[in-house]
């Protein structure tokens, strides 16, 4: 109104749009509680499209100035916080016009402008199929707008459990932020899988047990694989004890000096434990082409005869894979009992995970 009073009639539409946006933002900053909608009525039909363009441009420029606020150093979050606090999940536009057709044209124009910045990003990693139940529930809650983990980014989330696919839809800026949260979920799943594989591998080589005394005598009760891994890690790192929780979230302590386990809050309630090295305890079955080894022998080096089939196979493959011609002096076979047993344990784990294919 001040501009209209100063300039008289014929005020530029850009000035009107700028003043209206300033007035609305100023009023909004007063923390209004009851006002839900603001309607701008334009009587001049010829002014509608130009005013709409100017007011959208004005809003964009003001958001840009907010985002470019000064910061005190590289990576500072100052200048972004204001945008985060003013982010709206929903905006309602009410369009008035002299005809239905004009309204439809205005809606179409708005949709085209909005869709220019809307994009879709797809995550199709194999690990998504192996998400834990908690991670699946988290994505379902995001999809149903019940979880704040990704809802704050204003993106649409589609989770296809069967095919292991996550699809995000939203503006470029929102997709960039939301993608970080999805990557965090994927990395957590990969870490959990690696931990599970390590736990299975360790349990094939070493197993910890509690000694349960019952009417039938003593019974060895194995620890679960994840707990077995925690205990074995602490043992190999020469720590005095290991702590872990059971399925009821009760914390236990295992002291290696006494080889006893007890609830951390009740040290008097003890139970004996024992460690079994499965590689040493089980009968060692060496490959058929190995030379015989003594029971206490862990590594042996055997020189192959040039007439041996294994010698000829190794030499042939060596020449095929090398770029130049070499004179072969000798071929030795290293027989490492420990490494071979670890290989067998790892192969067993991979075979169980990749059925019906067999690992090499």
The two tokens of residue 251 are 């914390």
Helix (H) or strand (E) holding 359, with range, is none
Give me the tens of pLDDT residue by residue for the chain, a chain 360 residues long: 555 555 555 667 777 777 877 887 777 777 667 777 777 777 777 777 777 777 777 766 655 555 444 433 333 333 333 344 444 556 677 888 888 888 888 888 888 877 777 888 889 888 888 887 887 777 766 555 444 455 566 778 888 878 888 888 888 878 888 888 888 888 888 888 888 888 887 887 889 999 998 888 888 999 999 999 999 999 989 999 999 998 888 999 999 999 999 999 999 999 999 998 876 655 567 888 898 888 777 788 999 999 999 999 999 999 888 878 888 999 999 998 878 877 877 777 677 666 666 555
| pLDDT value of position 144 | 52
26-64: string of b/e by CB count within 10 Å (b at 16+)? eeeeeeeeeeeeeeeebeeeeebeebbebbeebeeeeee
pLDDT attached to residue 197: 81
* Predicted local confidence at residue 296, as pLDDT: 74
pLDDT attached to residue 15: 78
Concatenated DSSP letters of 88-115:
-S--------SSHHHHHHHHHHHHHHHH
Measured from the Cβ of residue 98, the count of other Cβ atoms closer than 10 Å reads 10
User: Between vectors from CA 338 to CA 334 and to CA 344, what angle results, nearest 5°?
Assistant: 95
Identify the pLDDT of residue 61. 67
Domains delineated in the chain = 2-70+78-115 (no CATH), 120-200 (3.30.1370), 209-280 (3.30.720.50), 283-353 (no CATH)
Predicted pLDDT of residue 146: 44
pLDDT of residue 240: 95
């Amino acid at each position: 109104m001040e501009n209209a009073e100063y300039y008289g009639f014929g005020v530029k539409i850009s000035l009107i749009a700028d003043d209206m946006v300033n007035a609305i933002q100023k009023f909004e900053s007063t923390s209004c509680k009851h006002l839900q909608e603001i309607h701008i009525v334009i009587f001049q039909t010829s002014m509608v499209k130009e005013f709409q363009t100017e007011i959208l441009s004005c809003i964009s420029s003001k958001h840009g100035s907010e985002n470019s606020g000064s910061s005190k150093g590289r990576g500072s979050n100052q200048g972004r916080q204001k945008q985060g606090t003013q982010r709206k999940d929903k905006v309602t536009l009410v369009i008035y016009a002299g005809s239905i057709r004009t309204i439809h044209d205005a809606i179409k124009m708005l949709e085209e402008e909005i869709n220019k910045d809307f994009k879709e990003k797809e995550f199709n990693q194999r690990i998504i199929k192996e998400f834990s139940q908690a991670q699946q529930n988290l994505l379902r809650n995001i999809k149903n707008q019940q979880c704040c983990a990704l809802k704050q980014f204003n993106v649409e989330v589609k989770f296809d459990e069967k095919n292991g696919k996550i699809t995000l839809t939203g503006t470029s800026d929102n997709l960039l932020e939301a993608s970080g949260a999805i990557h965090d979920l994927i990395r957590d799943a990969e870490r959990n899988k690696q931990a599970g594989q390590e736990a299975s591998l360790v349990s094939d080589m070493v197993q910890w047990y509690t000694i349960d005394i019952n009417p039938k005598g003593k019974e060895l009760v194995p620890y679960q694989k994840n707990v077995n891994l925690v205990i074995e890690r602490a043992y190999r790192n020469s720590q005095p004890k290991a702590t872990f929780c059971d399925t009821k979230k009760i914390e236990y302590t295992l002291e290696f000096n006494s080889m006893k386990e007890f609830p951390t809050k009740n040290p008097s309630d003890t139970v004996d434990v024992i460690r079994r090295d499965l590689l040493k305890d089980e009968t060692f079955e060496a490959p058929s082409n190995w030379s015989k080894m003594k029971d206490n022998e862990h590594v042996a080096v055997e020189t192959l005869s040039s007439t041996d089939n294994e010698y000829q196979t190794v030499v042939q493959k060596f020449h095929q894979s090398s770029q130049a011609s070499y004179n072969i002096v000798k071929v030795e076979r290293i027989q490492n009992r420990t490494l071979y047993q670890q290989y067998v344990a790892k192969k067993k784990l991979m075979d169980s995970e990749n059925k019906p294919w067999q690992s090499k």
